[in-house]
Amino acid sequence: MSHNAESTAFRSALEVIRAVEPRVADAIGAELVDQRESLKLIASENYASPATLLAMGNWFSDKYAEGTVGRRFYAGCQNVDTVEALAAEHARELFGAAHAYVQPHSGIDANLVAFWAILADRVESPALKKAQKRHVNDLTEADWFALRRELGDQRMLGMSLDAGGHLTHGFRPNISGKMFDQRSYGTDPATGLIDYDRVAEAAREFRPLILVAGYSAYPRKVNFRIMREIADSVGATFMVDMAHFAGLVAGKVFTGDFDPVPHAHIVTTTTHKSLRGPRGGMVLCGPELADQVDRGCPMVLGGPLPHVMAAKAVALAEARRPDFADYASRIVDNAHALADGLLRRGASLVTGGTDNHLVLIDVSGYGLTGRQAEQALLDSGIVTNRNAVPQDPNGAWYTSGIRIGTPALTTRGLGAAEMDATAELIHTVLDRTTAGTGPDGAPSKAKYVLDPAVAESVGKQAADLLTPFPLYPEVTLG
């Protein structure tokens, strides 16, 4: 039995937890088993290092730390100042940014901080300046009325959800769609690619305050130089949400026109996904927006999470190591191999391939909805998520697509040969799954039929594929 530091740390932690609530300890252990045995292809998930995970379980969790480094509303935050300053320093150096704000709890929080910072910078509003000193939940009806009157109908132009954008880029049910008069740009119906001329035309017509770029399901690079030129042409603030591909920027796979940091006024990101850190968010900007961004707490955020900021500092330090660039490069190589393997087996891919970490399969060619495909694959030990495709006839719930990504499997060490084998397993499941019917015999968008023997066989093959690439090999719990 291994007695290395990682194993000792995690075993000891579970023993302490088990003494209080054994069911929680069991669930934690079961999650490790499940992740070890499944082909994790969710593009927004990864595996954080033991050091990053352990940095979240400590006494920083007990501290309130509203404010920023050196300017707290609570006493006794000197150690929080240390880890927040370290995380911000690593972020600035890693991405070449003038300013980094590492307090956001998630990508959505990071986007909200950015939106309010841009509004405060661009719109003369005494009500907003007053509101920045309080949390949004504490604003009275009169405060909100004054805000709406002074801010007016500010406009945002972002990528549509079915084209690969994110719900925080103006999707109506999301708060971003309620804060702004919003319009979306899509992709070329024939190619699935961004048509920059059409984006420019939409910007000239709509005249947005904010032009948003970035995606959660667009399998290609974005030319941020062109997008900045479009923003400048209409006087818009250019914001990039790089949550999905931050690791490719950090690893210098995306450079020049494809690195958003030199081109955007403000950049938001999560710290997990391809960056391989803890679940959390971050904002990068120039000095002109720094003061507004630093007011994210208390305007939008509650108390910062110092234990998560400590983990961010660890993960960002890891990303500054030379081996992270190799990792980021292998993510893209693996995505190419996975896409090629699927195409050779007859799968239909949105845009016909990939330039980044994700692949979007249009499963309608298999006669399935995304929901049917997602569950059939899960039954077979392959974890994915359903996703809308451009002009999706099945909408955002059932969808016609499956989004798959390579960051997690690349972390485990799988390479091109394993990606081809994975493509074969995916194709086998989708090809052998048929749409089911409802109780009335009508076609169902959710029910499906898959021979359990096929699911069992694919699940075994998936487990065999993973055997040479153990997850957290330095951690043994038994």
Q: DSSP of 73-128, one letter per residue?
A: SSS--HHHHHHHHHHHHHHHHHHT-SEEE---SSHHHHHHHHHHHHHHHHS--HHH
Is residue 270 among the annotated active site residues? yes
Is residue 66 among the annotated active site residues? yes
Catalytic residue selected from 279, 371, 386, 412:
279
Rounded distance between C-alpha atoms, residue 265 and residue 268, angstroms: 10
Is residue 412 among the annotated active site residues? no
Is residue 279 among the annotated active site residues? yes
Copy the structure tokens of residue 443. Answer: 């076609």
* Residues 6 or more apart whose Cβ sits within 8 Å of residue 251: 319, 324, 325, 326, 327, 328, 329, 331
Copy the structure tokens of residue 227. Answer: 């997008």
Nearest to 163 by CA among 472, 375, 401, 347: 401
46 burial class (0-12, 13-18, 19+ CB within 10 angstroms)? buried
402 burial class (0-12, 13-18, 19+ CB within 10 angstroms)? buried
Question: Hey, how many other C-beta atoms are within 10 angstroms of the C-beta on 223?
Answer: 16
Cβ(417)–Cβ(409) under 8 Å?
A: no
Question: Hey, how many other C-beta atoms are within 10 angstroms of the C-beta on 462?
Answer: 22
DSSP state of 445: E
3-state SS class at 293: helix
Rounded distance between C-alpha atoms, residue 120 and residue 122, angstroms: 6
What is Dmax (Cα atoms) for the chain? Answer: 67
Q: In this structure, what are the phi and psi dihedrals at residue 402, rounded to the nearest 5 degrees?
A: -125, 125
* Torsion on CA atoms 418, 336, 424, 38, rounded to nearest 10: 60
Catalytic residue selected from 64, 183, 291, 434:
64
Rounded distance between C-alpha atoms, residue 415 and residue 337, angstroms: 8
Question: Hey, how many other C-beta atoms are within 10 angstroms of the C-beta on 279?
Answer: 18
Is residue 64 among the annotated active site residues? yes
Q: Are strands 382-383 and 358-362 parallel, antiparallel or unpaired?
A: unpaired
Q: Are strands 401-405 and 358-362 parallel, antiparallel or unpaired?
A: antiparallel
Cis peptide before 393 (omega within 30 of 0): no
| Torsion sign over Cα 151, 152, 157, 158 | positive
Q: Please name the helix (run of DSSP H) or strand (run of DSSP E) that holds residue 71, with its range, or none.
A: strand 71-72
3-state SS class at 320: coil
Catalytic residue selected from 273, 295, 312, 330:
273
Catalytic residue selected from 270, 369, 406, 433:
270
Q: Could you give the residue numbers annotated as active site?
A: 64, 66, 241, 270, 273, 279
